[in-house]
Each structure stands twice: as C-alpha cells, then as structure tokens.
C-alpha cells in the first residue's frame, strides 16, 4: 500500500510538470517548453521540485528586428528529435534550433534564420527561476540549499547577460549605492558585476544573447556619444549556442567542469588539477621589480615567505610590442628567459603585469609611423589642403572630435602623422584649434583636401588603444612572450581597454581567448592568469579574479570593504578567492601582517605583497614578517584551520597570533583588541589632562599588552598608567615622534623606530600591568615635548589560551 501511494505521488508530480509540452530531460533536470516557445517548467527530477515561478513568462529564444524585440508564436518539434522550429509571425521569420540532451545538460544552437526580416539580436531567455539564495551573476548559476540551475554560453560570440547597452558593456553598479539594491522579500541583494544571472523579486533570471555585427554602426561607447564601430564578420546570429543544466547545489562547480569538457570549452589545469579547484589557484605571490642582477635575492625573499610565485609589476619599456626595460633586461626577452630558467631551478615561477591592449606613446605602433589599426572614435575629411606648419585644421564634421569626456591625449591621425589639438571651434567652419603637429615623433607633412582625418581613441593613462585586428595581434605578442620565456603568471589589468573595439565584453573576451589559444598547449594549463574584469565566457579561461589595491590608504584600510565584497562575489560565482594587492612598506608591523594572514586563512584566499629588497632590509622586522607569512601560508594550503576558526578570521575586527609549538604543531592565539587615542589638551590650572579608557578583558587574568605610538609631530615622556583606579605604573622614558613602545608581558618593553628597528629596552616590574577578567579601566597621561595636533595611539591587547593546530 505504501509503495502504491509513493508511485501515485510521483505520477502526480510528473503530471504537474505537464505532459503536453516538449519535455527535455537529463539525469537531474527537466525543461518543458510549450507550443508557443514559452518555458513552462524547470524541474528537479530527483526531488520533483518545480523552480519555474508562477505567472512569469520566459521564452526559449526572442529576436530583435528594427529595434523591437519579438517573441515566438509557435514551436514545432522536428520528427528527427534533434531540432525545433520557432515561428515569429510578426516579422515573418522562422528560427531553427538544434537541441542535444546530454547526461549533465541540454544544449541549444541557433542553426539558421529564414524569412523577410534581418534580426540583429538573438536573446536566450531570460529564463525565470524561483531561486534567489545565491545568484552567481558572472558564472550564470543560481543556487539554494538543494538545487542549482545554470546557463553557459558555449562560444565567445554568445554573451552572458542581456543587451542592456548597445556597446555590449555590462551595466556598472555602484556596490555601495542604495539605488542598486533589489528587495527579494526576506533580504536585500546588491547588484554587482555582470547579469548572466540576476536577482529579481520573484527569484532570479538566467540570460544570454548574441548580436549580428555584420553592419557598420555609430553607437555610444565609453563616454563617447558617437563612436564608429566597423562591421565584424563572425557569422552573425547563426551559431549562437547555450547550455542549460540543473543539479544538486553541491555539484554545481563539478557540473560546469563536465560541460567544459563535453562542449570543448577551455578547461585549464594547474599541476594536474582543474584550475577552479586547484590549491595553486589561490597561491599568494611576491611582487618585486627583479632584474637579471638582483634575481637571486628576489628569489631568496620569495622562498623565505614560503611562496612559489615572484611577479614583476612593470618590466616593460613599452606596451604594444612589449619590449623589456633595457637596464634590468639587456637582451630583452632572452634576458627574461634566463631569469625564468634560473628561478625554475630554485622552485620559483616568474610572472609579470601588463595593461592588456593599452599602447604607450613610445611604442612602434605609434611612432614614427602610426599603425592604421589604432582604435578610432570616428572620422571626417579635410575641407582644404594644409601644410606641415598649420596649427588650425578645418574639417567637414566635428561630431567625433568635440567629445572630450574620455579624451586624454586629444590626438588625431592624418595619413602617417599624429596631431594633437586643444578643442573644436564652436561654429562653422569646424576648426581644430591650437594643433601640435608631428606629435609623438611622427613626421609633420602636408595633407590634401578630402584626406580622411580620424580621432584616435585613448585612455586616461595617456595611452592609445586597439581595433579588433590589432587587439588580436597584441594578444598573440603576449602569448609569444610567454611561449618564448616560459613565464608562468600574468594579470590582464585594464581589459576594459578592449571596449575600444566597440564590442564591449565580446572584445574583452576575444583578447584573452586569442592569448589563450596562442599559448603552447603545454603552457595553457600552467600559466596562472587573473584580471580585475570578470566575464561570463572569460570564467572558463581565468584562474581567478583578483583586485583590491594598496595605494589609497593604510595597510588595513585600503579598499578593505571592497575586498570583503569581492570574497562574497567570488564565492557565489564559484571562483577561487583572492584578497588583492597589499604593500609591505618599511612601517608595516607584525600585527599588520598577521591581520592580513588571518583574513587569507579565513577566506582561503591568496594575496599579492608588493615589496623590495630595500624595504625588507629597512623594516626591522622584515625577515620575521616573511617567515610569518611562510608559517601561515603553509597551514592555509594544508587546510589546517578549522571551519570555526576560519569563520572567526573572516571578521576583520578579530586579530590572531600564530606561534610554533613543535616541529609540526602551532598555537593559534586570538587577541581582544581595544584602540584609544590620547590628545594633547589645554585646560585651566588644576584641571586633569589625562584620558580615561574603559575596556573589557574577555580572557583570563594576565598582563595587559599594548603598543603605544607617539604623535607624528613630537616626542612624549613621563608616561603613566593607572589600572583599575588602584595600580599606577610610571615609565620615565622618552618616546620620539612616530616611535612605538611595545609591551608583550614580562619584565621588558621595547622602543621601536617607525620602521620597527629596535631602539632600546625599558624595564618593567613583572605583574605591574596585570588585569583581571571582566570590565577594566585605564587612565593614561604623558608629557608632550612639543605641540601636537595628532594623538598618542594606544592599542591594548589581552590574549586567550590558544588552540593547538597540527598538520
């Protein structure tokens, strides 16, 4: 009887997924489409749970013709069970779609379009789902606790997302702006990067599209209202192809890996393991400007930090041809090859940084003869002949030349001459004013009436950019460099430069795909590559995303909230985590470094540390800092930290200290930190000038540890500490400006310079700073030797009993 009831329930559930529609199934997922081409069911076959929302309309495929998006009216499933036809009556068009049902996914490919219209967009979906717990906007996967549904573009001309922008850039969302929040009932979600998957009030949508690029267009591109985008032949809408899959939520990443292999997508491996799951994908690295002369010392620092990757932040003399700086690399690429070989022998892999398709003004693509494939905003014609000395140039149409929002070089090209101009006249005749002839060491020349004059596209870094053909060539040049030298890591910074092609994320992806395909096969699975520009198809090629810069504030403060937002982004998009770049300066403390290392352990995220031999030598703790990195990173990669410990480490307010206990064990301590400031005060005679601080000791009875930092402008002396209103400690010591006094318990405190070089030891009576568990107070006072606008900084610390960690 129970067995009968179970089968009856299953039959009812199957009926709820509708038996009248076209049903496409694989091991875990069932898609149903009705006779009008509308999705009617997205069903978990194992649990028979429906994930298509009620009262929503989703079409398998829509087209845009003459600026209007049209939906199909009729679906016919062919007798061969391999394809279907969608009829669009309003535009008298039929689209044939090949369908393949595979064990993990179902593919849809647009084979041909027949009819009287010429549609310029093919839009897959948007496919509506009820899932909104985790929405991977870049990877194109939505998940709840039980199930995942995903979309994958199966070639580079099929773009993840929706054609919101005509230039195919993805919408830019301010991650901190309240206007970019979606209320989905139980919570509010932030729109962030991409829209292959997207939050909605009913759950989410999955979407992709393809554009016909066979015609010249003038569209808005990158702050230019008018930009000439030449025709590009990639077969048009024919051939656009997607995969849809559904699986257990825990199997989403594994399923994408199977789709990659089955569909011939990039599937790079690192050290024999798929890059998206490889431990090496989260490898931290040292950034240092090495050369043939100082390479050995740079390798020593890398190994002391326990790292395997050494990265050069700026080795190039030019971008475009990627010639190396002559002094550090006298034989150009051959010098780099020798460096790679020397490093490999010592177990270190070398990498370098570039700005993708940015072209410096000293590159042979610019000077002495500009390459005709430099990206152009648009063109006009000369209305009269000019000689080589003319500083005013009259043109037919100013439309492309008077756009100044993204116009840092104010450069144009006539024949083989680059000219810079100040502005365009406000009235006819349209005149380019204050022209600098023969710019960037090109040749001044006379030019005939009717000659084409073109505005060059540039970037705020004072560089030029590329059209499609030149993008391809530069991508191949970078691959040639790696093939020749054996370099093993690259960051494609500035990938948005490929928006100069007018093709947005398509141009960006084509650049990396051209590089990837041009690598030697044996290198494709060995070169770690990342970028700060994610992308749906790019997901398959990159090892990781990695951004967060150290230049804007202190070690702990520079883009901190941004870095944390990124970790959430990585996780929901099934990427390895990375924390970005940090700068190891002469002033960095052990506490600063362990703050970073705890975050790396918590998120299981790598990081990049910029430094130099000179910085390490100048910082009094330099060698110790590198050894500390090695210790923490060894445990992180070994998976030695517990889930509970890692959760605590994700919180940037929690601080930790790791100490070796034996050859294969360590003790992890957590600090309770309180930070206070004592300012110089001017009061009436007899009025106290001390500061009183209240804090909580959540740990056992112990010596109160502290780091005291003197003001920026003046020294302090005659320090006094009153603990809990009954114990007074006086220290007759002079602390120079910016110097530190550090006490870690025991009978001595140490005065350090601003660069953590030991200056002197200060005797302390053991037990003087002892505090009980619970509420505590501290009254602090000192003498300011001079005037100071900045405060004395006081960091108070108590420490727990520690947890033993073993390998």
Residue-averaged pLDDT of the chain = 93
pLDDT digits (tens, 9 = 90+) for 187-228: 556 667 899 999 999 999 999 999 999 999 999 999 999 999
665: Cβ contacts below 8 Å, ≥ 6 apart:
804, 805, 806, 807
Angle between helix 333-345 and 468-485 (nearest 10): 50
Please tell me the predicted confidence (pLDDT) of residue 15: 37
> What is the average pLDDT across 580-592?
95
> What is the average pLDDT across 116-126?
95
Confidence band, pLDDT 50/70/90 cuts, at residue 7: very low
Q: Taking 90 as the threshold, does the pLDDT of residue 94 lie above it?
A: yes
CA dist 94 → 45, 64, 73, 125, 439 (Å): 32, 13, 10, 17, 54
Task: Give the C-alpha separation, 667 to 803, whole Å.
Answer: 5
Confidence band, pLDDT 50/70/90 cuts, at residue 131: very high
Please tell me the predicted confidence (pLDDT) of residue 9: 34
Task: Give the C-alpha separation, 429 to 432, whole Å.
Answer: 10
> What is the average pLDDT across 124-139?
96
Please tell me the predicted confidence (pLDDT) of residue 8: 32
Q: Quote the longest CA-to-CA distance of the chain.
A: 101
Task: Give the C-alpha separation, 209 to 7, whole Å.
Answer: 41
Q: Taking 50 as the threshold, does the pLDDT of residue 597 lie above it?
A: yes
SS3 string, 30-56, reads EEEECCCCEEEEEEECCCCEECCCCCC
Omega before 126 cis (within 30°)?
Answer: yes
Contact of 616 with 626, CB cutoff 8 Å: yes
Contact of 575 with 536, CB cutoff 8 Å: no
Task: Give the C-alpha separation, 612 to 301, whole Å.
Answer: 9
> What is the average pLDDT across 716-741?
95
Confidence band, pLDDT 50/70/90 cuts, at residue 766: confident
Ranking 77-81, 180-184, 332-336, 408-412 by mean pLDDT, the lowest is 180-184
Please tell me the predicted confidence (pLDDT) of residue 541: 95
> What is the average pLDDT across 752-778?
95
Q: How far is Cα of residue 246 from the mean position of the Cα atoms in its chain?
A: 27
Please tell me the predicted confidence (pLDDT) of residue 171: 79
CA dist 161 → 59, 155, 167, 238, 535 (Å): 15, 14, 13, 18, 10
Q: Taking 70 as the threshold, does the pLDDT of residue 176 lie above it?
A: no
Q: How far apart are the first and last CA of the chain?
A: 54
Q: For the chain, give the number of residues.
A: 807
273: Cβ contacts below 8 Å, ≥ 6 apart:
279, 280
> What is the average pLDDT across 757-774?
95
Let me know if 568 is exposed, middle or buried by CB neighbors in 10 A (0-12, 13-18, 19+).
middle
Confidence band, pLDDT 50/70/90 cuts, at residue 174: low
> What is the average pLDDT across 757-780?
95
> What is the average pLDDT across 100-129?
96
Residue 519 DSSP code = S
**Residues facing residue 74 across a β-bridge:** 87
3-state helix, strand, coil in the chain (%, to 5): 20, 35, 45
Please tell me the predicted confidence (pLDDT) of residue 377: 98
Contact of 127 with 208, CB cutoff 8 Å: no
Please tell me the predicted confidence (pLDDT) of residue 754: 97
Please tell me the predicted confidence (pLDDT) of residue 181: 60
Q: How far is Cα of residue 627 from the mean position of the Cα atoms in its chain?
A: 28
Q: Taking 70 as the threshold, does the pLDDT of residue 180 lie above it?
A: no
Please tell me the predicted confidence (pLDDT) of residue 552: 80
Confidence band, pLDDT 50/70/90 cuts, at residue 689: confident
Please tell me the predicted confidence (pLDDT) of residue 4: 37
pLDDT digits (tens, 9 = 90+) for 26-71: 999 999 999 999 999 999 999 999 999 999 999 999 999 999 999 9
pTM over 0.85: yes
Q: Taking 50 as the threshold, does the pLDDT of residue 465 lie above it?
A: yes
Q: Taking 50 as the threshold, does the pLDDT of residue 608 lie above it?
A: yes
> What is the average pLDDT across 710-735?
95
Q: Taking 90 as the threshold, does the pLDDT of residue 318 lie above it?
A: yes
Question: Would you state the structure tokens that stand for residue 437, as one six-digit string?
Answer: 């002839």
Q: Taking 80 as the threshold, does the pLDDT of residue 683 lie above it?
A: no
Confidence band, pLDDT 50/70/90 cuts, at residue 560: confident
> What is the average pLDDT across 386-404?
97
Ranking 253-267, 627-641, 672-686, 699-713 by mean pLDDT, the lowest is 672-686
Please tell me the predicted confidence (pLDDT) of residue 533: 85
Question: 781 — phi, psi (to 5°)?
Answer: -150, 160
Q: Taking 60 as the threshold, does the pLDDT of residue 504 lie above it?
A: yes
Please tell me the predicted confidence (pLDDT) of residue 401: 97
């Amino acid at each position: 009887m129970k067995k009968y009831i179970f089968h009856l329930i299953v039959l009812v559930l199957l009926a709820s997924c509708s038996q009248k529609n076209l049903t496409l199934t694989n091991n875990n997922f069932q898609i149903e489409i009705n006779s009008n081409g509308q999705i009617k069911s997205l069903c978990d076959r194992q649990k028979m749970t429906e994930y298509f929302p009620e009262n929503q309309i989703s079409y398998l495929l829509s087209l845009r013709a003459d600026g209007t998006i049209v939906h199909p009216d009729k679906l016919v499933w062919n007798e061969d069970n391999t394809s279907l036809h969608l009829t669009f009556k309003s535009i008298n068009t039929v689209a044939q779609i090949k369908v393949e049902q595979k064990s993990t996914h179902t593919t849809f490919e647009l084979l041909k379009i027949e009819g009287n219209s010429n549609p310029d967009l093919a839009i897959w979906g948007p496919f509506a789902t009820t899932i909104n717990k985790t929405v991977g906007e870049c990877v194109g996967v939505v998940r709840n606790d039980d199930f995942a549904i995903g979309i994958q573009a199966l070639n580079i001309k099929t773009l993840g997302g929706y054609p919101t922008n005509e230039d195919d850039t993805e919408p830019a969302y301010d991650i901190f702006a309240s206007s970019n929040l979606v209320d989905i009932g139980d919570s509010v979600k932030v729109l962030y990067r991409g829209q292959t998957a997207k939050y909605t009030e009913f759950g989410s949508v999955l979407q992709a599209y393809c554009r016909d690029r066979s015609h010249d267009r003038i569209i808005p591109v990158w702050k230019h209202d008018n930009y000439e985008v030449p025709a590009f032949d990639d077969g048009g809408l024919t051939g656009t192809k997607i995969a849809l899959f559904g699986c257990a939520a825990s199997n989403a990443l594994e399923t994408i890996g199977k789709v990659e292999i089955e569909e011939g997508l990039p599937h790079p491996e690192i050290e024999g393991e798929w890059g998206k799951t490889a431990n090496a994908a989260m490898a931290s690295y040292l950034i240092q400007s090495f050369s043939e002369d100082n390479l050995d010392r740079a390798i020593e620092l890398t190994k002391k930090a326990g790292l395997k990757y050494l990265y050069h932040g700026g080795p190039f003399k030019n971008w475009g041809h990627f010639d190396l700086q002559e002094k550090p690399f006298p034989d150009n690429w051959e010098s780099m090859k020798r460096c790679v070989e020397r490093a490999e022998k010592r177990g270190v892999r070398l990498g370098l940084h570039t700005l993708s398709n940015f072209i410096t003004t000293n590159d042979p693509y610019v000077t002495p003869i500009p390459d005709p494939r430099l990206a152009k905003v648009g063109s006009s014609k000369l209305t009269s002949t000019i000689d080589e000395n003319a500083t005013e140039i009259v043109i037919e149409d100013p439309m492309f030349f008077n756009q100044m929002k993204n116009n840092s070089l104010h450069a144009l090209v006539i024949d083989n001459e680059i000219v810079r101009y100040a502005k365009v006249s406000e009235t006819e005749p349209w005149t380019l004013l204050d022209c600098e002839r023969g710019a960037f060491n090109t040749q001044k020349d006379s030019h005939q009436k009717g000659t084409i004059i073109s505005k060059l596209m540039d970037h705020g870094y004072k560089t030029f950019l590329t059209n499609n053909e030149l993008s391809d060539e530069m991508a191949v040049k970078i691959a040639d460099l790696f093939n020749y030298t054996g370099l093993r890591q690259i960051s494609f910074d500035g990938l948005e430069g490929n928006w100069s092609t007018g093709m947005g994320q398509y141009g960006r992806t084509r650049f990396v795909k051209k590089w990837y395909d041009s690598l030697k096969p044996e290198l494709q699975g060995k070169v770690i590559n990342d970028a700060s520009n994610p992308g749906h198809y790019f997901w398959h090629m990159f090892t990781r995303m990695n951004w967060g810069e150290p230049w804007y504030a202190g070690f702990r403060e520079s883009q901190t909230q941004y870095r944390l937002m990124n970790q959430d982004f990585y996780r929901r998009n099934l990427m390895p985590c990375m924390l970005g770049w940090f700068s190891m300066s002469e002033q960095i403390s052990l506490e600063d470094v362990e703050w970073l290392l705890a975050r790396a352990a918590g998120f299981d995220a790598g990081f990049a540390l910029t430094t130099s031999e000179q910085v390490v030598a100048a910082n009094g703790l330099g060698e110790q800092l590198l050894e500390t990195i090695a210790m923490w990173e060894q445990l992180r990669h070994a998976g030695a930290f517990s889930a509970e410990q890692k959760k605590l480490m994700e919180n940037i307010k929690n601080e930790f200290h790791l100490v070796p206990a034996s050859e294969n064990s360590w003790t992890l301590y957590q600090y309770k930190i309180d930070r206070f400031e004592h300012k110089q005060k001017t009061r009436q005679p007899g009025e106290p000038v001390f500061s009183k601080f209240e804090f909580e000791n959540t740990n056992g009875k112990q010596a109160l540890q502290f780091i005291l930092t003197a003001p920026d402008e003046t020294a302090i002396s005659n320090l006094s500490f009153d603990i809990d209103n009954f114990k007074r400690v006086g220290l007759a010591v002079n602390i120079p400006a910016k110097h530190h006094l550090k006490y870690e318990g025991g009978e001595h405190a140490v005065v350090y310079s601003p660069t953590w070089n030991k200056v002197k030891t200060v005797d302390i009576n053991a037990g003087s700073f002892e505090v009980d568990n619970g509420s505590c107070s501290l009254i602090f006072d000192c003498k300011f030797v001079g005037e100071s606008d900045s405060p004395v900084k006081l960091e108070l610390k108590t420490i727990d009993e520690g947890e033993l960690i073993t390998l």
